[in-house]
Amino acid sequence: MSDINWQELSKAAEGAYHKAYAPYSKFQVGAAALAQNGKVVCGCNVENASYGLTVCAERNCIAQAVIQGDQEIKGLVVYTETEKLTPPCGACRQVIVEFMDSKAIVKSVNHLGKEKQWTVAELLPSAFTPKDLED
């Protein structure tokens, strides 16, 4: 995964953060991913008055990659402006597993320059994957 420019992904995720629609929680999140085809794709959280219809930044980001024709993500960054670094929620972890290798890296970064990273396998051990549907 050395071919990933994490600084570029972090800046893209920060840009997406500023586009987030979070009038209810006031918790903005931006995400950026490097698709297998080399494109950087972004997403932000989009809330809804019917809270259950809210879509997280990570899922919007991955959906953008799929829309652009790429179903393999090499690396993902989640950006927030909170002191505590924010990992993906459970729903996002399941979607991440669908489109990223178990050894791929997901990073959480913030406006203070802090960062933390996990492999996909660390985020969701014993994940239910497409392979579980075989047989």
pLDDT given at position 106: 98
Distance CA 132, CA 28 (A): 34
**Sheet containing 100-110: order of strands:** 40-44, 30-35, 73-80, 100-110, 115-119
Residues whose CB is less than 8 angstroms from the CB of residue 90 and which lie 6 or more positions away in sequence, other chains included: none
Residues 8, 14, 47, 58: which is the catalytic one?
58
Q: Where are the domains of the chain?
A: 6-133
Q: Is the overall model pTM greater than 0.75, yes or no?
A: yes
- Residue-by-residue pLDDT tens, the chain, 135 positions: 468 999 999 999 999 999 999 999 999 999 999 999 999 999 999 999 999 999 999 999 999 999 999 999 999 999 999 999 999 999 999 999 999 999 999 999 999 999 999 999 999 999 999 889 986
Q: Is 58 a catalytic residue?
A: yes
pLDDT of residue 57: 98
Class of domain 6-133 (CATH, top level): alpha beta
